[in-house]
Structure 1
Amino acid sequence: MKNDPKGIFQRSVKDQWYVKYEQAAFPFIQKGWILPVDRWVDFDPFILMAEDWFKKGAFADHPHRGFQTITYVVDGRLEHIDNGGGRDILEPGDVQYMNAGWAARHGEEGVDDDIAHTLQLWLNLPKELKKTETSYQNVYSEDAPVVEFEGGSVKVFSGDFGGVKGPLNSVVPITLSEISLENGATYTHCLPENQNAFLYVLSGDLDLGKENINLKKHGVATLTFNEDGKSNNSSEFLIKSNSRRSKVLVYSGTPIKEQIVPYGPFVMNTMEEIKEAFKDYQDGKFGPPAI
C-alpha cells in the first residue's frame, strides 16, 4: 500500500494462510509450519518457523551453524541445555534467543512429563556474521516491558515501541512484539518501513489492515513493506479485534538479500560450506555434547 497523506507507509496483508498440522511419532507429538522453509526468499531475513508439540527426548543434543533462533514458549515447560554450561527452564510466554554463529551445540527438552508447545523461528545471518561467537539469551515474560493502550497492550521483546525498548539483543536487529486486544479494540502497529514482517495469530479473531482481512487462531500473514525505504522511517499497520481475547505475535527484520542453503541443522551460503559444517561437527570442533 502507498503512503498516506502524511507520508507514512501504510502496510497491508501481502499473503495469508492457516497452519496445517501433522501428528508425529513419540516423543514428537504434532508439528506445523508457520513459515515453510521453501519460501525463505519471500520471508528474508526469516528462513522458517515451526510450531511443535513434544516431550522429553525430542530435541536432545544437536548442532547448529550460520543462523539465529527465536523460540517462544506457548505452553508447557522447555528446558534449555547447551555445551557452554547453560541450563534453564522457560515457561509460557518466555522467549529464548540463540545466535548459533560458528558452532552451537544444545538441547531443547520438555520438562518431566510436560508437553512443550513452542514456536521456533530461524533468522538468517549475513555471510560475514555466520562464524560469530555462539550466544544465548533468555527473555522471561515478566521482564519484557508492556505498553498499554485503550483496549489492549503490546509486550515488547525486541525493538522500540511506544518509547520503550525490548530486552532481546539479536546480532541482526529485529522486532518482536506480542499484542493483546479486547473485543472491538483497534491498534495501529508501527514498524520500520524497510523491514519485512509477518504475524501469527495465537488466539482470537482479527481484522488486519484497512482492507479488514480476517484471520483467526493459527492464521499467518505476511505484510507489504517499502523495500527501498529507510530504517528510520516508520510504517503503520492496523489491527482490530473481533473477540474478547485476541493475541498476535508480530515479527519484522531487514532483508539480507543473500543466497542461502538451509540443510539439516545448518544454514550457510553454499553447499561446500554445509559440507564443511558437517565435517567440523564430526571432527569434534563443536565441542562436547550438551548434557
Structure 2
Amino acid sequence: MNRLIKDHWYVQYSEETLPAIQKGWVLPVDKWADCDPFILMAEDWFKKGTFPDHPHRGFQTVTYVIDGRLEHIDNAGGRDILQAGDVQYMNAGWAARHAEDGVENDIAHTLQLWVNLPKEKKKTDTFYQNVYAEKAPVVAIPDGTLKVFSGSIAGITGPLQTIVPMTLTEINLEEGAEYIHRTPANHNAFLYVLSGDVTIGKGGDEEVQLKKHGVATFQYDETGDSHIESDCRLIANERRTKLLFYSGLPIKEHIVPYGPFVMNTMDEIKEAYRDYHDGKFGPPAI
C-alpha cells in the first residue's frame, strides 16, 4: 500500500519577544482533527527564561533538539541537559509540572510535538524518558541512514516507550538516494524536512517536492491492521537531506486543547486549572 499525500505546506515563522526568539507552527493546533493523535508541533528558538515552571495534563510531548542545549527540570527531582539530536518524551498524564529552558547563553532550537492521550489514560502517572542521539539505533540504507527513536522501523525497535503507539524516525539521505519508508498502514503520519530537498510520493500527480521547513501529511487506512505496512517513497535531491517522519495510531475522540492542558471537555479544562491553583500538581519545578 502506498501512502498518498493529504496536504503539504511550509512553516511560517514569527519574531518573539526575548528571551523567546522565533516560533513556527509545524502542525497548527487547528489541524488536530486531521492529524489525530497529533495535536500540534511547535518549532522554537529561545533562551533561558522562556519556559520556566509550568503545568500540563492530558497528553504527551515528544521534544527533538535541533541545536543548542535544552535543560529539563521537573518537580519530581528530575534534571538533565539534552543536546542536538536528543529526544525527550513526557507523559503529562494527570499532573506534570516542569521547566524546559536554554542553558546559560545558548539559543535552544527545538521541535515539540503534542500527542493526545485517550480519555481512559488521561489520569495516568507522569513520567519522562530521555533518548540521547547516540543511544538511538541506526540502520544503514543505500546512501543514507535511519535513526529509530520510537516504534519498529526496518526491523529495528526504538527505545522510546510511548503510551499511544507511534513511530519517530530521523532519515538522512545523500543526493540521489531513493528510500521507501514503511510504517503501519493504520497510523496517521506526517514528515518535516530539517534540511535539504526531497521528493515524496510514487510519481506524477501524487508526487510533491519539499525543501527545508516543508511539511507533508498523509492519508491512512482507517480500518487497517497495525501489522500491515504502507510505503512512502522518498528521493533526496540534495546532499545531507534530513527529515523526521512521525506516525501514530489515531484515538478518534473529541478534545479541547486549552493553554497547557488537553482534555475532552471544557469542564475538565476548568477542573485542571482549579487543581493546579489548589496545589494538586505539586511544588514548582526549580
Q: TM-score, normalised by structure 1?
A: 0.97
Match of 1:149 among 113, 116, 141: 141
- 1:81 corresponding residue in structure 2: 73
C-alpha displacement of 1:267: 0.1
C-alpha displacement of 1:12: 2.1
Name the SS of the counterpart of 1:85 in structure 2: coil
Give the Cα–Cα distance (whole angstroms) in 1 for the partners of residues 232 and 156 of structure 2.
Answer: 19
2:201 corresponds to 1:209: yes
- 1:174 corresponding residue in structure 2: 166
- 1:269 corresponding residue in structure 2: 264
Give the Cα–Cα distance (whole angstroms) in 2 for the partners of residues 240 and 225 of structure 1.
Answer: 21
- 1:21 corresponding residue in structure 2: 13
Name the SS of the counterpart of 2:45 in structure 1: strand
2:249 corresponds to 1:281: no
2:224 corresponds to 1:232: no
Letter of the 1:58 counterpart: T
Equivalenced residues, count: 283
Give the Cα–Cα distance (whole angstroms) in 1 for the partners of residues 183 and 23 of structure 2.
Answer: 30
Q: TM-score, normalised by structure 2?
A: 0.98
- 1:161 corresponding residue in structure 2: 153
Give the Cα–Cα distance (whole angstroms) in 2 for the partners of residues 14 and 210 of structure 1.
Answer: 14
Deviation track 1:81-107 (CA, whole Å, cap 9, x = no partner) reads 000000000000000000000100000
Letter of the 2:66 counterpart: V
Query: In percent, how many aligned pairs have the same letter?
Result: 69
2:111 corresponds to 1:114: no
2:194 corresponds to 1:194: no
Structure 2 contact 146–171 (Cα < 8 Å) conserved? yes
Give the Cα–Cα distance (whole angstroms) in 2 for the partners of residues 199 and 184 of structure 1.
Answer: 19
- 1:222 corresponding residue in structure 2: 217
C-alpha displacement of 1:175: 0.2
2:61 corresponds to 1:61: no
Give the Cα–Cα distance (whole angstroms) in 2 for the partners of residues 176 and 74 of structure 1.
Answer: 15
Query: Which range is displaced more, 59-68 or 10-19?
Result: 10-19
Q: Which blocks of at least 5 consecutive residues in structure 1 are unaligned?
A: 1-8
Deviation track 1:217-248 (CA, whole Å, cap 9, x = no partner) reads 00000012111111111111100000011000
Structure 1 contact 12–208 (Cα < 8 Å) conserved? no
Give the Cα–Cα distance (whole angstroms) in 2 for the partners of residues 244 and 197 of structure 1.
Answer: 24
- 1:256 corresponding residue in structure 2: 251
- 1:128 corresponding residue in structure 2: 120
Give the Cα–Cα distance (whole angstroms) in 2 for the partners of residues 255 and 206 of structure 1.
Answer: 26
Letter of the 1:233 counterpart: I
